[in-house]
Amino acid sequence: MKKYLKIMYSMTKGHRFKYFFSFAILFVAVLLQLISTFMSKILTDTLTGDAPTGLVDGFITEMLGGQAYLRNHLWIFALAIVGIGVSRALINVSRGILRASLDRDVASGMQLKLFRHIERLPYPFLKKAKSGDIIQTCTRDEEVLRRFVIRETLGIVYAFYIVSLSFLILLSLSWKIAVSCIIILPFMFVYSYFVIKEVRVRYRKTDDSDGEMCAKIEENLSSVRVVKAFNNEKFEIDAFEKHLKDYETKFIHWRKMSSFFFASSDIFVFGQIVLTTLFGLYLAFIGDISIGTTVVAFSFVSMIVWPVRDVAMTLSNLARAIVSLDRINLILNQPLEDIESGERPEVKGHIQFEHMSFHYDDSDEAILEDINLDIHPGETIAIMGKTGSGKSTLSHLLTRLYDYTDGSIKIDGYELKKISKEHIRHEIATVLQEPFLFSKTIINNLRVANKNASDEEVFRAAKIADIHTNILSFKEGYNTPVGEKGVTLSGGQKQRLAIARTIINNAPILVFDDSLSAVDTETDIHIRSALKSRQANTTTLIITHRVATAKDADRIMVLEEGHIAQLGTHEELLKQDGLYKRIYDIQTRMV
């Protein structure tokens, strides 16, 4: 319960006055409902001549002019009932508008909070997390929890208001009839507690299965080209059908228990109504209570039992809300990445690796081991090696997506771990192996790295990346939408746009993470020549599989199984028997 109250307090931040004001309006609505119902007792007592038996009916009777006056002016009851009805209608309309406004405000606030948190989570967590699970948490789980916090919490408050006030009114009329209205309720709560525990377990399994299904859909949408290229549609449909059947089985399993609870709880409800009605008739028969009290007792027992039963139903939804809360907390409880703290030195491009090693947290196997390398400012280093040798991991370490586990990496004499992540990621620009473009125009995609870049700077970067002419050939030029993930562009065009987007930042260190592989050799040479003439002081690391791309670098580093196997110029490495010469021989024979 403490966990729920904490998240409720968090979700309503900024809207708490509106949230608690809705409780006040609800209280007024309940009062009007009770007065409207209680009017039937006063009317019955007036017609039968029975004297008021409680403080409440006595107060209302006197306020309306007394029993004798009312007997001669029965139109007052009609007027009072109409007036209360109109007031209740206006109150209910106001409640509906307020709840809709509150629902919208809390939804936007909670979803923004989740998105902000996700954006600031560390790269290793996001790398392991399933996109489908995260999407489901930010949509369905957020909706389930929000619905409970706003709508169903109001239902609980409504039940508290009407049950407590109804009981107090009945208690003022007859303690016997009041006690008879709640005698079965404790048994219903005990029963609900044990059944709802099972409902919660089954819902959690259903929700997890739904997350797996969402992840499968997201995976297929991302890999649609691969699926179609290998005629794999039938296999993927069959695989999705298995997820669907698993969800269907667990959903039915959950709904059976939930439906059983709802149906079986009716036994307690109708049992309570029957018991109170019979007992009320008996008390009226022996003259202990009036006919009016019997009538109002019958109405009030329904007002007590059905809201309590709805609370028991709400407890079933509480099980769903707790599961959704647990899934949301899996994200919100993840520590945020600290990108701001740390030193912010002037970066000129001097990089030193000293006995640097790295392995992932869930493995003791070193990805990179005992790396020693001194890269001078303005130097171009090509990095080659087999797949899995640690080339891309090196670029991840430089931008602090991961932190090295042993040894040292220094940038201009400053220990990399002590430099602010935000600062180092601004000073080291990386062109990724798989370029990602947003569903924006070309010029807006190019300005992602530098929001304040002028048109001239954008055009200059596009020319260096050899994409400017292509862009001008489009009908809308730089204002051409690129579509989701850049689907309207070819692979080479996307790669060159990604290169232009990166170099527009004028960072002192530039890393090409196998990003020149999607362009032809001539374009590759053109891009590297343009970069060299424009940014002579830029330290450049080129991760590549092409000898043609690597040979013009100042030095070439060859990685094998996480170690530096070779280091030197193109001519020096060709004189050695090693991986570089074997790659060179293979690629030259293929030409």
Q: Is the pLDDT of residue 489 over 90?
A: no
* Residue 390 to residue 353: CA distance in whole angstroms: 14
Three-state DSSP class for residue 100: helix
**Tens of pLDDT, residues 356-401:** 999 888 777 888 999 999 999 989 999 998 888 888 888 889 999 8
Which pLDDT value is given to residue 353? 94
Which pLDDT value is given to residue 328? 85
* Residue 380 to residue 533: CA distance in whole angstroms: 13
Q: Other CB atoms closer than 10 Å to residue 170's CB: what's the count?
A: 27
Q: Is the pLDDT of residue 155 over 70?
A: yes
Domain boundaries, the chain: 2-332, 351-590
The CATH number of 2-332 is 1.20.1560.10
Q: Name the residue with higher pLDDT: 7 or 419.
A: 419
Listed residue (72, 66, 69, 73) closest to 52, CA to CA = 66
**Tens of pLDDT, residues 526-568:** 676 766 665 567 898 988 888 888 888 899 999 998 899 999 9
| Burial bucket for residue 40 (CB in 10 Å: 0-12, 13-18, 19+) | middle
Residue range 65-91: mean pLDDT, rounded: 79
For residues 495-529, one letter each, b for 16 or more C-beta atoms within 10 angstroms of the residue's C-beta and e for the rest, the string is bbbbbbbbbbbebbbbbbbbbbbbbeeebbbbbbe
Rounded to the nearest angstrom, the gap between the alpha carbon of residue 494 and the centroid of all alpha carbons in its chain is 29
Listed residue (529, 172, 167, 544) closest to 384, CA to CA = 544
Percent of the chain with pLDDT over 70: 87
Q: Name the residue with higher pLDDT: 590 or 165.
A: 165
Q: How would residue 284 be classed by pLDDT, with cut points 50, 70 and 90?
A: confident
* Residue 52 to residue 358: CA distance in whole angstroms: 85
Confirm or reject CATH 3.30.497.10 for domain 351-590, answering yes or no: no
Three-state DSSP class for residue 257: helix
Residues written for the chain: 591
Which pLDDT value is given to residue 442? 85
Q: Is the pLDDT of residue 464 over 70?
A: yes
* Residue 346 to residue 325: CA distance in whole angstroms: 44
Q: How would residue 170 be classed by pLDDT, with cut points 50, 70 and 90?
A: confident
Rounded to 10 degrees, the C-alpha dihedral 57/62/65/71 comes to 40
* Residue 65 to residue 58: CA distance in whole angstroms: 11
**Tens of pLDDT, residues 3-60:** 666 666 777 777 788 888 888 999 999 888 888 877 777 777 677 666 666 666 666 6
* Residue 560 to residue 491: CA distance in whole angstroms: 29
Q: Name the residue with higher pLDDT: 147 or 43.
A: 147
